[in-house]
Structure formats: structure tokens, C-alpha cells
Amino acid sequence: MMSVDTIISAARGNIPVDTLFKDVQLVNLLSAEIVRTSVAVFNGKIVGFGDYDAEVTIDGAGLFLAPGLIDGHVHLESSMLSPEEFARAVVPMGTTAVIADPHEIVNVMSIDGLQYMLDVSAELPLDVYFMLPSCVPATHLETAGAIVTAADMRKWIDNPRILGIGEMMNFPGVLFGDSAVLEKLAVAGKKNIDGHAPLVRDKDLSAYISAGIRSDHESTNIDEAREKLQKGMFLMIREGSAARNLQDLLPLVTPLNSRNCGFVTDDRHPDFLLDFGHINSMVRDAVAFGIDPIIALQMASMNTARHFGLKTKGAIAPGYDADLILFDNFINFSIKMVFKNGCLVAENGRTLSFNKSQISELPRTIRVKDLSVSDLSVRATGKMMNVIDIVPNQLLTKKVLLKCQIADGFVVSDPDRDVLKMAVVERHHASGNIGLGFTRGIGLKSGAIASTVAHDSHNIIVIGANDEDMLFAINEIRNMNGGQVVVENGKALASLALPIAGLMSDKPLLDVRNATDILNKAARRLGCQPENPFMTLSFLSLPVIPELKLTDRGLVDVTKFDFIPLFADA
């Protein structure tokens, strides 16, 4: 370790620094000003401004220099990329740190999944911190691949790369004082606890916050977000592939409250990352909306660093890590170079080469009983049924009452009304559990789509216009050991294998992106309406976001946090 005396000597200019960023427009997020100067780096840290003798001089030629961007809440697994390929995607976009919640892979593989994520992300040109999953399983209303207790969590909380407790999705458990839930919250100690409180308001919100939960990324409207800010929550403004809340929430941000706001992506697929970007896209969109550029960068870096106690990140000043971006202007926000600890790691949109982690092959995670078409049949015991109504560009759904389409005594899909059968098949223990229901808003006219990315227990989820194609899709998923597929007339039109826990590909970034493009195009050819059908599909089984969801155990009314019958008049 470098001695403090040596660092002081470098800062005073008594010995040459490692790198001097000459003639840059320094975006100082601490003083909220832009100053034309030079910035000195020594031993991976900022040591001063102005002229220094340096081993290497980089001429900024008047480009803007800002701290690297930080994503305050992301599920790496939702990119369907390995952590290495995720870094290859986002580092050229200026992201130098992320706070990840690995509850997707932990729901499948238990604590072995957390260890895997820690191992494969340890040597990346991206700081990957983790929040310890608090909801494995997310609720008692589904079957996950694992159960993680407070005792399990206590063994990991002191890991320096674990910054606290991940999003507490079981908000009813908090509100009703469930002892197991409260025991998990107590594990955090002085570390942070992330929240997950969609549409929780008034006294319930106050109670939720009083349990020690200090952030939330689930606000979908400005009134909800305002109340959370007023009650002391760090407002994580989300813009993901499926849930896009940036434009709705930006009007709330002012120079006086912005310090309590940060940017997060939560879930972005490869196509969205490559077409629109990562946190950099949120900075660009915020500036276009009218947010002061310095405030936009504070929300993209410094505010998040401070919230999580990352004391040497999020700003450019002596003693801070030299995680830096050089960019042209705030309108295009085109990032030219990215530096990690003072070393160039990406240039002109390309990540420089880095060593890949050598990790042994993961075990097979798809265990499903043999099924027949009859296992997907729904005998009509009523004429009206509760249907999951999809809300475009949101994770929220609505509960609607619709008339059944009945054929030979069974309820079937009705593509003409866009009312389609949906199944969630338990895939961890081969229990044979199958939840059956119906949804509106996907738009399939024929065929079926299926996936093992199905938050948060990640069972097999399938929607189809007929039972035969639904069964074929389930079997294709089983044969791939996890993945996504589009089928029609007993034939796979497109597929993507996800052999890492049924969640992530082991293929390069561009290969995964091309495969997702082909999947989405195939789904749209069959009539799918959502821009990203598989991202929409993945949240229809999540029983912690209102209003109606389907798990392997049945139809869940999230507002009641309990099962309800499919038929409303049975």
C-alpha cells in the first residue's frame, strides 16, 4: 500500500504524478461549477488541480471531465448477460460502479448464486457492489429455488462489497410486523436497506420507512414520489426496459431537493442498453428535459455514492477515486474516454480488453415433471373470470373482469379479444405445480412465448394462443436448460439459451443482443404488442407489484396479498 507521505508528496508536486489530465473543463459536483483546469492522478486517486509534472499527460483539449456514473439499483441478471459482458456493455457508456441486487440468481441457486456473482465480478473494470437479497423467496405465494433466512444473511453482511440489505419487497410483511421479515431488516445494522413500496402511501408508508428502509425505486407518479421524498426516502428515479418513470418524475426535481434523488435502471435488456444506453441516457434525457446539467450528473453519480456511503466516489477532488469520464457536451453527452482508477478502460464506445474470470460450470437448474396438454387445461366452472390487464410501459397491472371463451367445457385463449392463457410452471423442484390464468395486453394472434426469466422466483412462464404451442414452448425451455423461446405450430421460430441459472447467457454481448432482436421480431410477427414482449412477460409473475399476478401456486391479488379464484362467479 502506498504510504501517506508519498501521496502527500505527489499532491504537493514534489514528485511526479502518474497522470495529468491537461486542459479539461472540470465538472465539479461538490462546488457545482465548471472550471477549466488540469487534474492530477496518483496511485489511482485524484491528488490535485493545476500544473503538475506527470509520467503521462492526456490532453483533454477542452473536453468535459466528470466522475464516473453510478447505477444505484440494478439486477445484472436482467440484462441476460454475464457480469463480464454487462461490464463490456456499460463501461464505454461511462458507468464505473453499480449497486446490484442479485436476488434473481439467489432465488434460483441460493447463496451459491451470490458467491458466483461476487467471484465473476471481482476483477472487472467496473466496481460491482451488492445488496444482500432480503426476499428469497419474495413471498409465500410462490415457489422459489431457495430459502434464505436472516441467519444466512448475517454470514455475509460484513463483506466489504455488500453495502446493505436489498429491496424489501414484502411490504405487507413489514407493515404487519412479520417476525422473520423484521429479523432480516435487523441484519443491516448500520448499513442501508433498500425499499420496494409501489403505491404504498400515507400511514402505511410512514410505517414502512420507520422500519429503517431509506430508499425506493418503485414510484410511478409524481404524487407518490413527492410523499416518499417528504418522508425522507432517497428517491431512485428508474428508467428500465419495462418500467419507464423518468419523464413522469423529473418535474419533481428541483435544485433544493435534487440531492435526495438518484438514477437507477433496475432492469435493462441488451437491446435497450445498446440502443439507448445506461445511466448516460438518463443524464442526456434529464438535460433535454431542462434539469441543470450539474444536477443531472450529481443524480447520476455523487448523490448515489453518498447515499450508499461510498466516500471516495462520485466527485473529482483530492482523495477521491480517479473514476473519470471525458465527454464532448451535455446535449449529445458523447463519452470519448472512460478511466477506472486513473487507467483508460474504454474509448470511443469500446471497452479495452480485460481478463475474464475462470469459473466452473454451474449446475443444471431446470427440473420439470413431464407434462401433457391436459395439464394446461382450464375446466370452465364459471362464465366470468379475473384477468391480468397489462399496463403499457409499467410493471403495474390491473385486475379486470372478463367473459370466458369456452370450448367443449374448457376456457381457452381468445386472440380476437386479446385474452390469452398464461401458465407458470414450477421449475426448481419438479413439484408439478402449475398456475393457470389469463392476461390481456400481449396481443398474440397465434403461437406462444415462454421464458425462465420470471421475477422473482424464475419459474417457467408461458403465454399462448393455444395449449399445444404452450406445451411445446415449455419443453423447448426444458431442453435448453433455461432461456426464452417463440413458437408457432409446434416449431421454434426463435430462441435464446440462458444456461447460467436460466437467467443469463454465456455468449458475448452482441450475440445475445442479436438473439433478443430475433426473439422480439418473431414475437411481434405473431402479434405481440409490447415493445419488449419478454421484459413484459417476466413481470407478470411478480406478486409484490399490484394489482394482479400469477405464480406457480395460483392467481394473486397483490392488494390483498393473497390468492383469489380465477372465476369470479364460481
Report DSSP letters for 294-311, one per residue.
HHHHIIIIIHHHHHTT-T
Q: Within a domain: residue 91?
A: yes
Which of 295, 313, 331 is where one domain is finished?
313
What pLDDT is attached to residue 514?
A: 96
CA distance 304 to 307: 5
Shared-domain flag, residues 409 and 263 = no
Residue 225: Cβ-neighbour burial (10 angstroms; 0-12, 13-18, 19+): buried
What pLDDT is attached to residue 545?
A: 86
CA distance 544 to 427: 20
CA distance 56 to 268: 37
CA distance 233 to 520: 37
What pLDDT is attached to residue 98?
A: 98
Cell numbers that stand for 539 in this block? 413481470
**CA 234, 238, 244 angle in degrees (round to 5)?**
150
**CA 388, 546, 403 angle in degrees (round to 5)?**
20
Q: Within a domain: residue 365?
A: no
CA distance 475 to 358: 31
Shared-domain flag, residues 282 and 422 = no
**CA 101, 73, 347 angle in degrees (round to 5)?**
110
What pLDDT is attached to residue 358?
A: 61
Q: How many CB atoms lie under 10 A from the CB of residue 177?
A: 10
Pairing state between β 54-59 and 17-28: parallel
Shared-domain flag, residues 271 and 383 = no
CA distance 201 to 220: 13
What pLDDT is attached to residue 467?
A: 98
CA distance 340 to 323: 5
79, 223, 291, 416 from 266: Cα distances, Å: 10, 21, 22, 34
Cell 400511514, residue? 203
Q: Within a domain: residue 408?
A: yes
Q: Within a domain: residue 328?
A: no
Shared-domain flag, residues 257 and 184 = yes
- DSSP state, 233? -
- DSSP state, 363? P
Cell 397491472, residue? 397
Q: Which amino acid is at 289?
A: F
CA distance 96 to 94: 6
The count of structural domains within the chain is 2
Shared-domain flag, residues 76 and 150 = yes
End-to-end CA distance of the chain: 71
23, 33, 40, 250, 324 from 57: Cα distances, Å: 10, 24, 9, 39, 15
- The contacts of residue 508 (CB under 8 Å, 6+ apart) are 85, 88
- The contacts of residue 3 (CB under 8 Å, 6+ apart) are none
Shared-domain flag, residues 220 and 81 = yes
Instruction: Give 280-285's long-range contacts (Cβ < 8 A, gap of 24+).
Output: 280/69, 280/93, 280/94, 280/95, 280/333, 280/335, 281/93, 281/239, 282/237, 282/239, 282/246, 283/69, 283/330, 283/333, 284/330, 284/331, 284/332, 284/333, 285/239, 285/246, 285/247
Shared-domain flag, residues 308 and 387 = no
Q: Could you tell me the CATH number of the domain that includes residue 211?
A: 3.20.20.140
What pLDDT is attached to residue 357?
A: 65
Cell 448464486, residue? 113
- DSSP state, 318? T
Of 202, 255, 208, whose CA–CA distance to 227 is shortest? 202
Cell numbers that stand for 125 in this block? 473494470
If you count them, how many residues does the chain have?
570
Contact by Cβ (8 Å): 83, 120 = yes
Shared-domain flag, residues 243 and 387 = no
Shared-domain flag, residues 216 and 82 = yes
Which of 313, 328, 350 is where one domain is finished?
313
- DSSP state, 239? B
Q: Within a domain: residue 42?
A: no
Contact by Cβ (8 Å): 304, 262 = yes
Q: Within a domain: residue 131?
A: yes
Which of 289, 313, 337 is where one domain is finished?
313
pTM of the model: 0.92
CA distance 43 to 4: 11
Q: Which amino acid is at 188?
A: A
Shared-domain flag, residues 261 and 121 = yes
CA distance 140 to 333: 45
CA distance 341 to 45: 6
Q: Within a domain: residue 421?
A: yes
Q: Quick one: CA torsion of 70, 73, 76, 80, rounded to 10 degrees?
A: -110
CA distance 216 to 253: 15
CA distance 349 to 98: 19
- DSSP state, 414? B
Shared-domain flag, residues 548 and 459 = yes
Alpha helices in 150-253 (DSSP H): 150-154, 171-175, 179-186, 202-210, 222-230, 246-249
Alpha helices in 427-507 (DSSP H): 467-480
**CA 356, 118, 241 angle in degrees (round to 5)?**
85
Average pLDDT across each block of 10 residues of the chain; the chain has 570 residues. List them in order: 91 97 98 98 98 97 98 95 95 98 96 95 96 91 95 97 96 92 97 94 97 95 97 96 87 97 94 94 97 98 98 98 97 96 96 72 88 97 96 88 96 97 97 97 97 95 98 97 97 97 94 95 96 90 92 94 88
**How many CA atoms, within 13 angstroms, populate the side-chain half-sphere of residue 356?**
12
Domain of residue 218: give its range. 68-313
Shared-domain flag, residues 297 and 433 = no
Contact by Cβ (8 Å): 305, 127 = no
Largest CA distance in the chain: 89
- DSSP state, 212? T
What pLDDT is attached to residue 360?
A: 59
Cell 401458465, residue? 423
CA distance 299 to 237: 9
Q: Within a domain: residue 344?
A: no
